Amino acid sequence: MPEISELSIAALTRVLEDFTRMHIRLPAGRRLSFTTLSVLHTLAGDGPKRLTELAGSEQVTQSAITQMVTKLEREGLVERHPDPSDGRAVLVQVTAAGAAIVDGRRAERVARLTDLADRLTEPERAAIALALPALARMVELHSAAIGDPPIERGDGEGDSGMDTPRDSARR
Amino acid sequence: MPEISELSIAALTRVLEDFTRMHIRLPAGRRLSFTTLSVLHTLAGDGPKRLTELAGSEQVTQSAITQMVTKLEREGLVERHPDPSDGRAVLVQVTAAGAAIVDGRRAERVARLTDLADRLTEPERAAIALALPALARMVELHSAAIGDPPIERGDGEGDSGMDTPRDSARR
DNA sequence: GAAACTTAATTAAGTTACTGATACAGTTCG
DNA sequence: CGAACTGTATCAGTAACTTAATTAAGTTTC
């Protein structure tokens, strides 16, 4: 016998795809590329990282990361520091200005979602609230499988770093 | 007095950001750009569209769409047809091969989410199932606000068209 | 019904963000 | 110490965009 409320993965997939599109289309104030915003997000969330670590987590080549970090450094959004434990390595750290960009984009998303949630009924909001821990656990299970760092999730996290194609390419 | 289960938008935002990242990083078999996959998804979901409509929904210039559609046409993934109601316009339609790509990527996402959901407890899955309609309604409210077409949602939908940066640029 | 304007698509030239290959400095290991 | 390995930087090339200009069809105005 099937459960009372059987979870339709197909439906879940579609809803998540739609939210992804919503996030992706969020316009950015500054003209930063897709990958660039993702890097800022990662650094703001996980703390300083090596270039090779970033290359792995963003799935671009190490060469691309070097070039991007050079550009971000010129713009004052990240800083390069020598790694005390390995003379070859560089630790990239987000600056206050860089973190502000991440926070700003997060705030836009929160504002948008707040607006939408306000227009739901109270039981609808409650249903989402009750599902959040389970959804968060799916993300956790995924990260664990991928081998990501176990990510401190107290606060000051996030920004999936996504951007519209227009933002990436313009100017 | 606050409700029993108050919905934390901040928490919801973070979870959705994480899912976005999960989707974005999904590797693609073919080497199609970020925007290209998004266009295929839109066409597979909404049916034939004009170039200008696509330019609007994908947030790139019309010129970019023209070039992309030309390339997709060469690869047999879309077809151009004259618009019977307007001699200036062109209707772009996804081919079976194009739809297969969209479906394939959707299937990968479903597989991944299925795997994760299997590792949840039964109450967790039930909680997500109960929240799905509310989440879907948030998406609907968003589309309505943006002015998107009201999207037929029977089946054969989806693929948020997202891709890794690596996929976009390689080869 | 012709002139002026608007809209849809294409074409051309330039920019940017990536890739791949290579060079080189710093580590690790025999 | 020298050989192999690892982390970063550099260089040349490519793909996906941009803006600007062109062509063609449709709409408006008188």
Domain parsing of chain A, residue ranges: 9-163
Q: pLDDT band for position A26 (50/70/90)?
A: low
Chain mean pLDDT for chain A: 83
| Count of CB atoms situated within 10 Å of the CB of A72 | 22
Please determine, for residue A164, whether its predicted confidence score (pLDDT) is greater than 90. Answer: no
Chains A, B: CB pairs < 8 Å? 217
Please determine, for residue A48, whether its predicted confidence score (pLDDT) is greater than 90. Answer: yes
Question: Measured in whole angstroms, how far is the alpha carbon of residue B77 from the centre of its chain?
Answer: 16
Least confident of A70-74, A104-108, B58-62, B148-152: B148-152
Q: Is B151 helix (H, G, I), strand (E, B) or coil?
A: coil
Ramachandran bin of B25, using left for φ above 0, alpha for ψ from -120 to 50, beta for the remaining angles: alpha
User: Which among B5, B19, B139 is the nearest to A126, CB-wise?
Assistant: B5
Note the pLDDT of residue A151. 39
Q: pLDDT band for position B148 (50/70/90)?
A: low
Least confident of A40-44, A158-162, B66-70: A158-162
B90-94 sheet: strands from edge to edge: B49-50, B90-94, B78-82
The CATH fold assigned to B9-162 is: Arc Repressor Mutant, subunit A (1.10.10)
DSSP state of B171: -
Note the pLDDT of residue B2. 54
Residue of B nearest to A145 (CA): B116
**Structural contact between residues A56 and A46, judged by C-beta atoms closer than 8 angstroms:** no
Nearest in space to B43 (alpha carbons), one of B100, B110, B115: B100
Note the pLDDT of residue B22. 83
Q: pLDDT band for position B32 (50/70/90)?
A: confident
DSSP state of A120: S
CA→C1' distance for B44 and C10 (Å)? 24
Dist CA A51 CA A80 (whole Å): 10
Residue nearest to nucleotide C7 (CA to C1'): B88
Dist CA B18 CA A142 (whole Å): 10
Interface with B, mutate which of A1, A21, A121, A137 (most B CBs under 10 A): A21
DSSP state of B91: E
Q: What is the CATH number of domain A9-163?
A: 1.10.10.10
**Structural contact between residues B137 and A120, judged by C-beta atoms closer than 8 angstroms:** yes
Determine the longest span between alpha carbons in chain A, in angstroms.
62
Cα angle A143, A149, A155; round to 5: 90
B143: closest CA of chain A, how far (Å): 9
CA→C1' distance for B131 and D23 (Å)? 53
Kindly state the average pLDDT of the residues B3-22: 87
Note the pLDDT of residue B56. 86
Note the pLDDT of residue B143. 78
Kindly state the average pLDDT of the residues B105-133: 96
Give the nearest nucleotide to A38, CA to C1': C17
Interface with B, mutate which of A102, A138, A140, A146 (most B CBs under 10 A): A138
Q: pLDDT band for position A146 (50/70/90)?
A: low
Please determine, for residue B167, whether its predicted confidence score (pLDDT) is greater than 50. Answer: no
Q: Is B142 helix (H, G, I), strand (E, B) or coil?
A: helix
Integer CA distances (angstroms), B22 to A59, A85, A112, B9, in order: 12, 31, 21, 20
- Tokens standing for residue B95: 């081919």
